[in-house]
Amino acid sequence: MRMTVRTSLIAIGLSVAAAAQTFLAPSALAQKALPDPTAPTVEETAQGKTMNIQEVTSPGGIKAWLVESHANPLISIRFAFFGGASQDAPGKDGQAYFVTSMMDEGAGDLDAAAFQERADSLAMRLEFDASRDVMLGSLQTLTENKDEVFELARLVMTEPRFDEGAMTRVKAQILAGLKYDENDPATVASLAWDSVAFEGHPYGRPIKGTHESVAAMTTDDLRDYVRRVYARDKLVVSVVGDITPEELGKALDTLFGGLPEKSDLREVAEAKPPLGPSRKVINMNVPQSFAQFGFRGIARHDDDFIPAYILNYIIGGGGFSSRLMEEVREKRGLAYSVTSNLFPYRHGSVFVGNVATKNEALSQSLQVIRDELENVAEYGLTPDQLKAAKSYLTGAYALRFESSSSIANQLLWVQIEDLGIDYVAKRNALIEAVTLDDVRRVAGRLLTPDQLITTIVGQPVEEPVTAGAPARLPTPQNRLR
């Protein structure tokens, strides 16, 4: 197969006005700046900078998005296999996570120690991470070492050893980590929340596994996971840095050409978090209680996602500018941190927040949060609030493109979420297009403060329960041991 390169020029608009102007006519801009492949890929325009995203297809047919940048002598690669922890086999919680922890424990004819010394002397940075839906990989190399680093990474991808000795060692480390997590209020609250919101679904299972599942894990389990998930049909790649499309084409075949063509994934059902209210308290002897709260979210490809994203920013995603921060921290001093997030997983979306407050005042924090959610659900936003949110979200988008690895990360997630190569150029216009009515409608749909699922770890002093509450009890489930 011939190598192909397609180009999409995008501009990272900065001021709101400039952004709108840029994004109204992306094609005109693209023509004006169109690519001489040898020219620098980042160049100044009236609007700011343009970034040239090339879609490279290797001779072997592997695709990647590339932003060439020869300013620094390094290359950042991010890649992902669809699968993640939701592909853990039944009863084998923590399988994907275990695999990621074994990726630097030897490959080909190099045992763990030999591999690690080789990687170290090449200054190779290779990391793997298991999220719910994808296995994430990150590879960085200095330009001068790239050929040897790609060859070493190829061994990791295609010939991981999974030696017994290494497996025993890593198992002990994961178990020690689990032991630590058992006493960390934030982790315990989060696992408990997932087990309620995603009961019976893979998302409800702990990504790192349980003591029992990890202790029982075998090398066959690791190989089985790799066989099912590491395949070319479920791979996305983004690359930023000191490499040409031709060099990248060869590198892609080196890195991933040895993988099987087809994956063998289990079907994952759509998750439907139950409607609250429900509240679970896990007793832990700590002075400060940690609470996680939330409800169903809105999916990434739902037409209402962008308005929901803006709403989350305003409620608890916007750091010191968020309404929860204002009400809980700034006005009342009830917490150091209170945040919310919209997590649009592939098979189920949730809106989740958390707060940590001394035991005596936790119920006050939760009441303030609930009042605020009700307030937004009922009255929506003012024009000024929406304007401020748009101003931040459009302006700060450029901050995500600050370094090679952060650009690669952004482009990887655009691919994982299947938003299209022109998404970076369109994104601010999508934010700008949201109206007050959109936000109000979506607030009514998303924010259901009377259906909150809440998990609390600590020794909260409870306010008396008002009689007549419609209690919905979740199934008792305790992940602590």
Partner 1 sequence: MFKHWIAASRFRAGLVITLVSLTMPVAAIAAEARKAPAPAASTEQPAKERPAKKAFEFILENGLDLVVIPDHRAPVVTQMVWYKVGAADEPPGVSGIAHFLEHLMFKGTEKLPGSQFSKIVALKGGDDNAFTNQDVTAYFQRVAKDRLASVMEMEADRMVNLRLSETDVKTERDVILEERRSRVDNDPASLLQEQMMAALYRNHPYGIPVIGWEHEMRQLDREDALSFYRRFYAPENAILIVAGDVEPDDVLALAEETFGKIPRHGKTIERERPAEPKHDASVTVTLEDPRAGRTTVQRFYITPSYASAKPGEAEALDLLGRVMAHGTTGRIYKHLVMEEKAAASAGGWYSDSGLDSGRIGFYAIAGEKNTPEQMEAAIDAVVEDVRDNGVTQKELDRARTGLLAEHVYSSDSISRLARQYGWRLAAGMSVEDVEDWPNRLKAVTVDDVRKVARDYLVDENSVTGILEPAPEHTSRVEEKPAPAGKDKS
Residues 330 to 389: which contact partner 1 by CB under 8 A? 330-337, 356-358, 370, 374, 388
Of residues 232-271, those binding partner 1 (CB under 8 A): none
Give the separation between CA 184 and CA 180, rounded to whole angstroms.
7
Alpha helices (H) in 334-396, listed in sequence order? 362-379, 383-396
Residue 399 lies near partner 1 (rule: CB under 8 A): yes
Of residues 9-48, those binding partner 1 (CB under 8 A): 12, 14-15, 42, 48
Give the separation between CA 270 and CA 444, rounded to whole angstroms.
23
Nearer to partner 1, 251 or 393 (CB): 393
Single residue of 404, 409, 410, 415 touching partner 1 by CB under 8 A: 404
Q: Please list, in sequence order, all residues whose beta carbon lies within 8 angstroms of the beta carbon of residue 241, skipping any fewer than 6 positions away.
A: 67, 68, 69, 72, 74, 75, 76, 143, 404
Q: Pattern 53-72, binding to partner 1, x per CB under 8 A?
A: ----------------x-xx
Give the separation between CA 480 and CA 186, rounded to whole angstroms.
13
Single residue of 3, 20, 89, 175 touching partner 1 by CB under 8 A: 175
Nearer to partner 1, 62 or 376 (CB): 376
Size of the site for partner 1 (CB under 8 A): 110
Tell me which residue of 407, 56, 67 sits closest to 248, measured CA to CA. 56
Full DSSP string of 271-291: P-PPP--EEEEEE---SEEEE
Residue 177 CB, nearest distance to partner 1 (Å)? 4
Tell me which residue of 72, 53, 145, 147 sits closest to 404, measured CA to CA. 72
β-strand partners of 44: 49
* Residue pointed to by tokens 């325009």: 45
Of residues 410-429, those binding partner 1 (CB under 8 A): none
Judge whether 46 and 216 are in contact, CB under 8 Å: no
Single residue of 281, 299, 419, 429 touching partner 1 by CB under 8 A: 281
β-strand partners of 78: 138, 238
Of residues 108-147, those binding partner 1 (CB under 8 A): 112-113, 116-117, 120-121, 123, 125, 140, 142, 144
Residue 37 CB, nearest distance to partner 1 (Å)? 19
Residue 52 CB, nearest distance to partner 1 (Å)? 13
Residue 454 lies near partner 1 (rule: CB under 8 A): yes
Give the separation between CA 64 and CA 58, rounded to whole angstroms.
8
Give the separation between CA 324 and CA 310, rounded to whole angstroms.
14
Nearer to partner 1, 50 or 158 (CB): 50
Residue 153 CB, nearest distance to partner 1 (Å)? 16
Q: Pattern 286-325, binding to partner 1, x per CB under 8 A?
A: xxx-x---------------------------xxxx----
Torsion sign (Cα): 331, 308, 414, 133: positive
